């Protein structure tokens, strides 16, 4: 938990989000500035800054996030979709708490 991290605040419900999934390890919620008709984020509850910090101990968590992407995308009615992890400022990362983007369904209305 990092006190100045927006995703940690969403994890603890200090900041609201349109959640679509939650368990002991991860949450998923709709992106506040969607790039597609459906755009959600899969976020580990643990504060890991970037994919670069991940270790072999995170292997199961990373696999879980990817499998959850497919499950939730189907639940959201997506037939095909894109997944993306931005890594580091140079990789377009703005929120330094690991997250997987899932988006599809055509352009934002
Ligand atoms: P990044 O560029 O770090 O990969 O993506 C961060 C994403 O988090 C952006 O798409 C941005 O719209 C989203 N985001 C930032 N702050 C919030 C927030 O407070 N709530 C939600 N739901 N999404 C957020
Ligand atoms: Zn965090």
For the stretch 30-64, pLDDT in tens is: 999 999 999 999 999 999 999 999 999 999 999 99
Question: For residue 2, what pLDDT is reported?
Answer: 73
Cβ of residue 17 lying under 6 Å from some atom of ligand 1: yes
Q: What beta strand segments (E) does 1-109 contain?
A: 19-22, 26-30, 38-44, 82-84, 100-104
What's the pTM?
A: 0.98
Residue 109 has what pLDDT? 81
Q: Which residue has the higher pLDDT, 5 or 109?
A: 5
pLDDT of residue 3: 78
Q: Which of 7, 32, 51, 83 to mutate to test the pocket of ligand 1 (most atoms within 8 A of CB)?
A: 32
Q: How many Cβ atoms from other residues are within 10 Å of residue 30's Cβ?
A: 14
pLDDT at residue 1 greater than cutoff 80: no
Active site residue 99: yes
């Amino acid at each position: 938990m990092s006190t100045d991290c927006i995703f940690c605040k969403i994890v603890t419900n200090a900041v609201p989000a349109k959640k679509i999934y939650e368990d002991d390890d991860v949450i998923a919620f709709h992106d506040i500035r969607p790039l597609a008709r459906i755009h959600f984020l899969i976020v580990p509850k643990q504060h890991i800054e970037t994919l670069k910090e991940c270790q072999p101990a995170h292997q199961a968590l990373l696999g879980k996030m990817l499998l959850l992407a497919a499950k939730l995308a189907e639940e959201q009615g997506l037939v095909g979709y894109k997944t993306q992890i931005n890594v580091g400022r140079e990789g377009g990362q703005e929120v330094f708490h690991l997250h997987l983007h899932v988006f599809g369904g055509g352009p934002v209305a």
